[in-house]
Structure 1
Amino acid sequence: MFVDSHCHLDKLKLTKSHGIDHVLNEARAAQVEHMLCIGVTLDDFHEMQSIVGSHSEVSFSCGVHPLYVAKHGFNEQGLRDLCKREDVVAVGETGLDYYYDKEHHRIQQDSFACHVDIATTLKKPLIIHTRDARSDTIDILRNGHAERCGGVMHCFTESLEMAEQAMDLGFYISISGIATFANAKELREVVRHIPLERLLIETDSPWLAPVPYRGKENQPGYVQHVAQCVAELKDVGVDEVAATTRHNFYHLFGVQPTPLASES
């Protein structure tokens, strides 16, 4: 059975006939037993929770994505209060993105450092988004003593050196459907070198659907294709990838395994 360690269920194009229950039933049919639904703004958190909060196979994080912090603002006390909730198992999505936002580095850095402080205080793991900001990302994690809470570098596309630096701080490396893309040769080489015991798998749905669904809306059920890609790269069985990444997820986030429910 699989765990999707990073998805945005509230961002799916849900309809009356293709609502959240349908999405979760499709995930169950694909042997996905648990999903972590990621918060990207404080304003979105309560709506996200209202959409999927009644489903035991879904856990939540709370944070302000680096690409949203300049536009939506950053309420430190509001974030701290939400992250204290028992149903919030992680802090983030946070981090730095200098690829898409070349103007607001300081705002991103201040927000990121605050997320790290909250995570270490609450002892909840961090969910990190990083792109074209390798040195600053690691520096903020080190300066904030992020090894005290650990976390995951989600949808990882950076260098093996950065992965090793993150793992030295107790972080896991999460692989998305990008690894299945034909132009992802460097990433696949990184995956080959990372111990399976330090990997997670994710969809980042509704984005980045893996081959053979590339270009379509991603779904948590597609995480099995990420697992298959990792298995091929590491020359192990997909069942071993599923079992190890499942164990890694529950160990990191302190979530209890969810018995796979039958379709409703």
Structure 2
Amino acid sequence: METGNLSGIEVSLMKNAIIDAHIHLDMYEECERNQLLNELDMYKVEKVIAVSTDYQSALTNLEYSKQNKKIKPAAGFHPEQPLPEEAELQKLFSLIERKKNEIVAIGEVGLPYYLRKEQKQLSLNSYIEILEVFVKYAAKTGKPIALHAIYEDAEIVCDLLERYSVSNAHFHWFKGSEKILQRMKENGYFVSFTPDCLYEEEIKRIIKSYPIELMMAETDGPWPFAGPFSGELTHPKMIHSSIKQISRLKNVPMQDVYSRFFKNTSIFYDLQE
């Protein structure tokens, strides 16, 4: 049986509700997005946290949330892109202020790890300054913050979070050393895992060491995955396979993983209705 396909034993898991803690809905082709949204009930997807990449992305996700109550929008600026114009950034900050009762989080925000690998001369200072403003907004509004911060960048981000006493932090698809993981554990920061937990050894290592009380599941769709998901449209249903894998790696009953992840994500993003 292929682990990535929801057949056989996986079909029996459809009674368990899931939440996709991090997905870029606005980056799907329209037909793909419509298919995905039409299938949420079928795969027991109760909610999706629709993170944004910039001002227009945030507007789009807010509009989606009006059309489908399962969509919970977040507003932010993805760091793996050129810096925005100041006017564009101010529009985003203003949107967060005006729509703070509609957005569930500030995100996706963080630091440009991969962009710096491509552009060796890229200065990090301006990105840190922008991130600091988002962290301040998180502190001011009490909203959770969804972070793109991996490896050594996580140290900088932890410094900012600690400076402004922001504890509701979610490091999505995290990769990093045991040292920074220990700091994140002590601060109570959440980490979410994508379907690559089925085949990436680094991710398996983190799952084994991180507390299940501080875990969530995500897809980061439409980012594609390899292994058993090669060639498939990234879909929240893949989280069922992720939870099965995490159950094995943590040696925790699968039903307990489902319950814990659903509770973790619901409370963190204040999704209880």
SS in 1 for 2:228: coil
- 8 Å CA contact retained: 1:173, 1:198: yes
Which ranges of 4 or more aligned residues in structure 1 deviate by more than 4 Å? 71-76
Question: Equivalent of 2:146, from 109, 127, 138?
Answer: 127
Q: How does 1:53-72 map to 2 (within 5 A)?
A: 53-71=66-84
Structure 2 partner of 1:197? 213
Deviation at 1:152? 0.5
Deviation at 1:191? 0.7
Q: Does 1:178 align with 2:202?
A: no
Question: Equivalent of 1:163, from 165, 178, 181?
Answer: 181
SS in 1 for 2:223: coil
Deviation at 1:42? 0.9
Q: Quote the Cα distance in structure 1 between the aligned partners of 2:259 and 2:250.
A: 14
Q: How does 1:44-193 map to 2 (within 5 A)?
A: 44-71=57-84, 75-84=88-97, 85=99, 86-101=101-116, 102=120, 103-132=122-151, 133-147=153-167, 150-181=168-199, 184-193=200-209
| 1:104-159 deviation digits (Å, cap 9, x = unpaired) | 31121011111100000000011010134232222222223223xx1200111222
Q: Quote the Cα distance in structure 2 between the aligned partners of 1:204 and 1:90.
A: 16
Structure 1, gaps ≥5 residues long: 258-264
Question: Equivalent of 2:248, from 232, 237, 251?
Answer: 232
Q: Does 1:31 align with 2:44?
A: yes
Q: What's the TM-score once normalised by structure 1's chain length?
A: 0.87
Q: Does 1:218 align with 2:237?
A: no
**Residue type matched to 1:161 in 2?**
K
Percent sequence identity over aligned pairs: 22
User: RMSD in angstroms over aligned alpha carbons?
Assistant: 2.0
Structure 1 partner of 2:14? none
**Residue type matched to 1:138 in 2?**
C
**Residue type matched to 1:80 in 2?**
F
Structure 1 partner of 2:8? none
SS in 2 for 1:27: coil
Moved more, 227-236 or 77-86: 77-86
Q: What's the TM-score once normalised by structure 2's chain length?
A: 0.84
Structure 2, gaps ≥5 residues long: 1-16
Q: 1:159 to 1:78 in 2, by over 3 A?
A: same
Structure 1 partner of 2:11? none
Q: How does 1:250-261 map to 2 (within 5 A)?
A: 250-256=266-272
The number of aligned residues is 250
SS in 1 for 2:30: coil
